[in-house]
Amino acid sequence: MLVALPEVESPLIALMDRLDGIDAGAAIAALQADDPSGFDLLCTVIAGAYFLNPQVRQAIGYPGQQAVTIVPEDPPDYEQDGLLASVIARGAIYRPTPSS
């Protein structure tokens, strides 16, 4: 997780040092109530580490983020249902902007 987001290392260490020795449930409840940014940091790191784990990704069938090439359709999907047909048929309608 820290390889993907190295900028969270120092704040995370400071947060964990602050919570050291406190019961986990109490620490999380206190963070949620008194330190929303610390709670957000902890949740982001936990969720990120979880989904970066290869065993977890395999177990849930999540391949990770992948680049997907967008292939233009002819016509595009938003024109296929005919909803824009009347707008396209009518042509451009506009009022010129006043010149200064």
Residue spans of alpha helices (H) in 53-84: 54-60, 77-80
Give the predicted TM-score (pTM) of the model.
0.60
Give the tens place of pLDDT for each residue, 10-29: 999 999 999 999 999 999 99
Give the tens place of pLDDT for each residue, 79-89: 788 888 888 88
56 vs 84, which has greater pLDDT? 56
Look at residue 59 and tell me whether its pLDDT is greater than 90.
yes
Look at residue 76 and tell me whether its pLDDT is greater than 80.
no
Q: Of all residues in the chain, what percent are helix, strand and coil, respectively (each to 5)?
A: 60, 0, 40
Q: How far apart (Å, rounded) are the C-alpha atoms in residues 69 and 67?
A: 7
| Confidence label for 44 from pLDDT (cuts 50, 70 and 90) | very high
